[in-house]
Chain A
Amino acid sequence: MWSMAFRNLYRDRRRTLATVIAVAAGLFAVLMFLAYIRFVESSLAAVVIYRDANAHVQVYRVDGPEQLAATPAQYSLDSADQALIHRALPELPHFLRASNQLVGVGVVQADADSAVFLARGIDPEFEAALQQHSPLAAPPPPVDGLLLTTQLQDLLGYPAQHSDLQLFGASYANRMNAIEAPLVGDFSTGIEAIEDKGLKAPLALLQSLYDTDAVSRVVVQLDDRMHSGNFRAQLAAELERQAPGRFEVTTWDHPQIGQLYTSFMGFFNMVFAFTGIVVFTIALTTIQHTVAMNVADRTREIGMLRSLGFGRGRIAGLFVRESLLTTLAAALVAAALAYAVIAALALAGVETQLPRIAEPAPLALQLPPLWAVIAIACAGAGIALGALLTARKRVGGEVRPGRRGVPLTQLLAAAGCLLLAVPLLSPAQAQTPPPMEEVAASRSPDEETMRAWLKQADLARGGWGSYQWKLRIHTEDPAGATDTDYDIAVRDGRALAMTTAPRRYRGEKILIASRAMWYAKPGLRKPVSISPQQRLVGEAANGDIAATQYARDYAPAYLGSADLDGTSCHKLKLTAASDSATYESIIYYLDKRNRLAVRAEFLTASGMPLKVAHFEYDNRVQIDGETRPFVSHMKIVNANFPERYSLLEYRRVAPADPPDSLFTVDTLMTL
């Protein structure tokens, strides 16, 4: 029967050739696309595993992958955790090496320019060893300085190599801190979205910035990425046994870690499935058409075979054999062509832009024979089935009504349309209604009046005039509580805070002078300027809120009356009126009796509350011979995490006359 099928194909050379070409073109497209997918897959995997230095397996505190960015201190691994993990690792098969890593944010500064950074603290030795396995070239890891992405260097005005940069951030105990380190080179994060923030530093350096010996995670390199899943399971089981519920083990393709990989592979696989279905449908239709034509041409032969006692199935089998031979020939042609093109592309050294990867990569397509064989076998099986159905139907002559299903091609086409429709439909659901604007009350006081109120309220917080006092800030955070004491001096809206306790932090200073904020500590060459974004976090936010001159930075609008715990208040909406305003808007409550601020809600641009402050006024000061209330307690609560708050206690408030020179940046370091 095979030789008969073969001879039939040979006899109908032209038709066979046309069919072979059509099917081969389809299969060639599938193979090339498969090779491209494999290339993209392995490139993305390499970026995630090697260049992004996630290695193969990662150990976090439970929920670390999701929570580290928001609360690094609480979800980090302390030294006991680290020791436990590093003891467990070498016991497991396929282990190669492991290393601690720390991630963190802050502001980097070079002379006049500053920019937000997203840093990874790494062990240079580990990373050098890891990079040796990478198919993508990467610059050597930093040993005694910082690597910044070109984009970040651009934001900083291209500081000279080996010049000192200042990193500024909030320590794990939520204190301000800054360090200096030289710029030693550049690198790429491999991810466009964060490419303008990328900073890489030796682990120890970053640990000193965040004033901690904790790390964010331990990364583990294996001898082959295919063992990642197994290794993860074994390690998770072992860690769970030793410290139940404490650790979370992930692999490089975890959505939070290999985000780039998972999102793009999801997308690519879908595109591939769709393309595959389309090509397959075309190939199948071609084959079915050919079979139908062959059957029609050979009705007499079929009748004869039937009269000899050949069953329908057997005769259909002959046509299926012919289609299989055709497909096989097409597959050989397609595979040969695909390998030739791949080799040619490799020889020509073609480069391509990979999705979301900053620089072009050499187009090294790979098509493992097994994959090609599987793809062809799948296509062949589908085509054979389609040919069989067609042949059986045609050879049968009589078509029995009621037994005709939907043709396979129609089914496949429908499935293809569905697949195509999914990504087109889904974004439509993601739309949310725009936030409602608050409507201003009708009988509002005029702006002049409101500004006077604001100024009066600022006055009671030291916003205007010259004073000094002692300030204690108690900060509560799930990671721990801290107490810090400061000496404060203010003069006409400028404030200087000097840390007095704990001893370790003595000599640290924060200067808030009109629109700028500066931080200085012994050991730094010069003060660090704190950008508006940076004022949103940690201690800086407290200083920012405490020292804000609402009357100057915000424009008021009246929202009516409000009742706060039995106190009747004016409710104002303050909208940012200057660049130095940290918040987009503030809802401000003034006690109607004395026009003192009792509550302020700080909102983001999208109207989400960020912080809420409560004020109490138990202090008294003499101003212009008049005894006036002055702020005694301020509670600043994180609106999204109420368990995180700071208590500011004002003591020994007294009018003073600090010299102007105290509030200049130039003298900040010499104090």
Chain B
Amino acid sequence: MPLFEVEGRSYEVDEDGFLQEPERWNREVAKDFAATEAIADLTEEHWKIIHYIRNYYLEFGIAPMIRKLCKETGHKLNEIYKLFPSGPAKGACKLAGLPKPTGCV
């Protein structure tokens, strides 16, 4: 397993940089991972989405469908891409400490 290291902290991640130990997640983890997804600062808007995904994951064990994410957070999909340039699956889920969403292609 590769390690992701930042300011003396290190995390086990998969090859796409997703956190391998979901239970280690906290706000600091999200901040540490933000730089890897081209996000300079985490704003309230970012946090709203991160928390929504995180809580959904804790409750159901999977990431929410895109449509649900947009509906529940009140963001259009292209707004989510403005906040998380690599998108909801690769960007937002990574910061929320979820394991990599499945799906082959």
A binds B: no
Give B residues with C-beta under 8 Å from A. none
